[in-house]
Chain A
């Protein structure tokens, strides 16, 4: 399993490659990225592509905004920038908007397109939708469990697509993150004392009061149990996450090729620490599998990773 890491500054490139990243990705101002943390301009991004290549790694560019441009001129500008990145040797574009995929495939862009988890692909028909644009890698959304992803993984293999998952320790939106309107106040309004942060990730540990409405007659006992669960979960991070040590090993066993870390706002030292931790985890899965075979290795892997998590 190979590693792909975000970076947000050119100074992070060398330490991240040294830590074990095989691919690095970033965006830059003027490109349609899901988050704005990135390089200040196209010039910096083009120089970063050169630097990454000089260190023997691959350079990806995130253009994974769901809403890429708000007019035709904006789309033409993105296409022109994509062409300059292609000419510089960029190794992949991470994309989410079908309109951008259509623009790139119609505009003759040959750089491999990676389908972002921001545009969730939960099934083989969705993958067929993206194949029309020439997609070359699927970044699996963390809301899909490995035991649900078998057909999807098989279709990826048959079509020659690479597959990628997020490291469960460092990322984990429970809501479909490209569709989350709770995260930022686009429709609702925030209280005066709100100090910023993600509205969708309450983690204060205090249950919220949940008052049942629209109650089905005769369901009172079920309502009580659900009320406790909703109150606790809405105050402490949301619904259960699918990704954990077990699902990582299952995706590993299914032949997932790439492991991603993508918190672009983390400080450099934190990024380096996490890439090292990813390398250690992927290495552990490989080592245990080679030594014990998949069934026993899975159990040992989970035990070991769970202990790590408790430290």
Chain B
């Protein structure tokens, strides 16, 4: 089982500032850096390249996270993908890019066909059905389509301990179990995301035609825990996304994960 840590847009600076870099390098093989849910948090192409070089230079592997994007974000992603593709040539198997937008997927294929791409937590459900009780491939057509785009790893979060799968019947569904690999993010499950931001975006009057998501990076100051009047579990809000925190014990052992094609765990120290 591979292990990773999600540093999001805080990147290696967060580990260095907290004094946890050496321990993290011992504990984790994969470092997940970049913005996953909001294009306003997209770092610069230079930042992505520096983060990749930083971890590759210390013998680790790195996965660069990218969010859903409007045209504004696409302009940032183009040089990001090109820069990472140059690094990937020298570090094959140790650089991946996660996309959370079908446009980002398309752009990556157009600009950097050699990059290893993962379908992120906002688009995996084009291929997989996941809930508390099930973790299933939707159909072979979906697997084949994403394979033709170079995507065979899917990132998920799920609370289910004993999920029913259809991986054993893969042939009938028109795929091979080896066609897919899963990365499981824990302990925060992203329940829902908007583009407009709960935390920071100013109110919009009937005469206002917004230019986009106004942002002063309020989400960088903190997250919020809150209790929903109809939901048992506490929720956590950061920026434009509402999370559910997993129960402490969310799987029995590594074998139960491997049976679900999960071969990588990614820990988030913060939502």
Q: Which residues on A are within 8 Å of B, measured CB to CB?
A: 66-72, 74-75, 97-100, 102-103, 119-130, 143-148, 150-152, 174-176, 179-183, 185-191, 194, 197, 199-200, 202, 204, 208-216, 219, 222-223, 225-227, 229-231, 233-234, 238-242, 244-247, 250, 302, 305-306, 309
Contacts and interface: CB of A to CB of B under 8 A. Distances in A.
Interface string B158-193: 110000001000001110000000000000011111
Interface residues of B, number: 82
A244 B208 contact: yes
A98, A124, A214, A239: residue with the most chain B Cβ atoms closer than 10 Å: A239
A202 B205 CA distance: 20
B172 A71 contact: yes
Contacts of B223: 212-214
Interface in B227-252: 227-233, 236-237, 240, 242, 244
B11 interface: no
Contacts of B138: 67-70, 97, 99
Nearest to B126: A98
A180 B122 CA distance: 10
A71 B71 contact: no
A150 B73 CA distance: 14
Interface stretch (B21-29, B55-63, B98-106, B256-264): B98-106
B4 interface: no
A123 B74 contact: yes
A296 to B, nearest CB: 14
B141 A75 contact: yes
Given A98-B126, A123-B103, A240-B196, A188 B222 contact: no
A102 B218 contact: no
A190 B230 CA distance: 6
A55 to B, nearest CB: 35
Contact of B139 (A75, A197, A209): A75
A124 B206 contact: no
B228 A175 contact: no
8 contacts: A123-B70, A123-B103, A210-B225, A213-B223, A215-B222, A216-B221, A225-B218, A239-B240
B70, B145, B202, B229: residue with the most chain A Cβ atoms closer than 10 Å: B70
Given A121-B102, A190-B232, A222-B218, 7 more contacts: A66-B126, A99-B127, A175-B194, A208-B229, A212-B224, A226-B222, A238-B198
A140 B221 CA distance: 32
B70 A226 contact: no
A86 to B, nearest CB: 19
Leading 8 A-B pairs by shortest Cβ distance: A126-B103, A125-B103, A99-B142, A219-B221, A186-B131, A129-B106, A182-B192, A210-B224
B253 interface: no
Given A70-B166, A182-B242, A174 B226 contact: no
A209 B226 contact: yes
Given A69-B138, A122-B101, A143-B195, A187 B189 contact: yes
Given A99-B142, A102-B141, A181-B191, A199 B210 contact: no
Interface in B67-81: 68-74
Given A210-B226, A309-B206, A66 B221 contact: no
Contact of B196 (A126, A239, A309): A239
Contact of A191 (B132, B232, B271): B232
Contacts of B140: 72, 75
B255 interface: no
Interface in B103-161: 103-107, 110, 122, 125-127, 129, 131-132, 136, 138-142, 144-145, 158-159
B139 A210 contact: no
A27 to B, nearest CB: 18
A210 B218 CA distance: 15
Contacts of B172: 71-72
Given A180-B192, A191-B232, A214-B271, A242 B210 contact: yes
A263 B52 CA distance: 46
A212 B159 CA distance: 24
A99 B191 contact: no
Given A99-B126, A215-B222, A302-B207, A179 B193 contact: yes
Contact of B194 (A145, A176, A188): A176
B212 interface: yes
Contacts of B1: none
Contacts of B131: 186-187
A65 to B, nearest CB: 10
Contacts of B224: 210-213, 226-227, 230
